[in-house]
Amino acid sequence: MVVFDKPHALTDVPMHYCPGCTHGIVHRLVAEVIDELGIEGKTIGVAPVGCSVMCYDYFNCDMIEAAHGRAPAVATGVKRAQPDSIVFTYQGDGDLASIGMAETVHSAARNENITIIFINNAIYGMTGGQMAPTSLPGQVTQTSPYGRDVNLCGYPVKVCEMLSQLDGPEYLERVAVNNVKNVKAAKKAIKKAFQNQVEGKGFSLVEVISSCPTNWGLTPKKALEWIDEKMIPYYPLGVYKDRTAKEENK
């Protein structure tokens, strides 16, 4: 009996991510969900700019590479042109919360029927560890060597909290992938986000707290502990909006 095997929706291409980077775990969860829902043939993914820029090589479905930050806009176009397809974007914090903030907010406000997987690792990974909009107060990065000074650089953007104030989005949840329990919860959230789209409910975004051992300057194991110690207290996990559940409870 096979207990665990690589999902079909993930290709055999070796991933380029650094050792211990949790991008790979999230890729696998998305691929498992695509397999379980049986939507591989009609799924179209949109790749971002950032560390996950080459995720089009890793998913076994049709993929598009969007300009920096514009993945939700591209996904909107694809979904409206081909309403039967299942469209998801896979974006990091530099892509979604920085240059692509406008596209994110407006696609949420329009309640576009797309799924967004948002990787929050509190740093710009691909460019070498500069401060991101999601970097924690006091966090040391390449461009904040004395720690992020909130008087100078402002406070981090909490994407789920911010979008939950809009009337548009259907489903917003923040999860983490730093231990087995959280990975299982993350898969449940990602599955719900895709299921919502299959059922035509609308905009679903899952924010995944992820690690960046290389740019945090930690070992892979220590980086996962750092998520528990620093990231989760600042970015509490949980469901921030679930319109269907709310209406059912009324």
Please identify which residue in 33, 159, 183, 209 interacts with other proteins, judged by CB under 8 A.
183
Please identify which residue in 8, 9, 10, 76 interacts with other proteins, judged by CB under 8 A.
10
- Tell the smallest beta-carbon distance from residue 110 to other proteins (Å): 34
- Tell the smallest beta-carbon distance from residue 207 to other proteins (Å): 19
Strand partners, 86: 43
Contacts of 130 (CB under 8 A, 6+ apart): 123, 124, 141, 142, 143
Show contacts with other proteins in window 204-243 (CB under 8 A): 213, 219-221, 224
The residue type of 41 is: G
Please identify which residue in 81, 84, 180, 247 interacts with other proteins, judged by CB under 8 A.
180
- Tell the smallest beta-carbon distance from residue 37 to other proteins (Å): 19
Q: Which is nearer to other proteins, 82 or 219 (CB)?
A: 219
Return the range that interacts with other proteins (CB under 8 A); candidates 8-16, 84-92, 114-122, 190-198. Answer: 8-16
237 to each of 60, 69, 130, 150, how far by Cα in Å? 30, 24, 25, 23
> Which residue bears the tokens 């409870």?
249
Report the distance separating Cα 64 and Cα 60, nearest Å.
Answer: 12
105 lies in the binding site for other proteins (CB under 8 A): no
Report the distance separating Cα 46 and Cα 31, nearest Å.
Answer: 14
Q: Does residue 157 contact residue 134 with C-beta atoms inside 8 Å?
A: yes
Tokens of 54: 């080459």
- Tell the smallest beta-carbon distance from residue 187 to other proteins (Å): 9
- The count of other CB atoms within 10 Å of the CB of residue 182 is 20
15 lies in the binding site for other proteins (CB under 8 A): yes
Residues near other proteins (CB under 8 A) are 1-7, 10, 14-15, 17-25, 27-28, 179-180, 183-184, 213, 219-221, 224
